Amino acid sequence: MAMFVVSGRLGMPSNNRSETLTKIDHSEDHRGTPEAPGRVVTLIERSYWEQLTDSHDSAPERVWGVAYRIIPEKVAEVKEYLDIREINGYTIHYAPFHPADGSPPIRTLVYIGTPDNEQFVGPQEPQELAEHIFRSQGPSGLNKDYLLSLDTALSELAPDSGDHHIHDLARRVRELEKNCEDETKLLNPTTSVHQQKHSTEEAEEIEEPHH
């Protein structure tokens, strides 16, 4: 029997996917380190979310995501892989997934975080959070790449998702990137001029006639 899994990135065999409340967790084994944990999104129950104070307090009533259909002979392998990957602060739930094309709901397996686990961070001031994401990295890569990829996926797969929190964080991180690039240019203002002068002198030496 096939299994459907709702996941941000599967990394395992599947033969189909369907496009369709996130909160912030910290990650010390993918997008951060134990000394400087990165930030990743996690699903939590709405009843938990309603108890939190958030800078973006207008969460929609539904979660947008991707459901992967796992071929029967790979179900056990994928389940073992996901249990290991999501072991840090998640519990297994089964929930209905409503495909964007209006077809009947699919029973899917999802991993949901609980606020009482040590990985749960909860709400943070948006600019401080953006700066933390901008600085963090881990074995799976830069934390900012994770955020910007998530923002792009939401814009492309679910333009009606209305996830202002993710879009706002991505905007702030892009501004930090631009400011960092501008500062680098200011610290090295003579590089291109020096290189151009050096090249001109070399050209004059080559063109100078020899007697």
Query: Which residues are designated catalytic?
Result: 86
Distance (Å, rounded) from C-alpha 42 to C-alpha 9? 13
Q: Name the nearest CA neighbour of 138 among 58, 63, 26.
A: 26
Q: What is the identity of the amino acid at 64?
A: W
Phi, psi torsion values for 96, nearest 5 degrees: -75, 135
The CA-atom distances, in angstroms, between 132 and each of 41, 135, 172, 173, 176 are 14, 5, 11, 9, 11
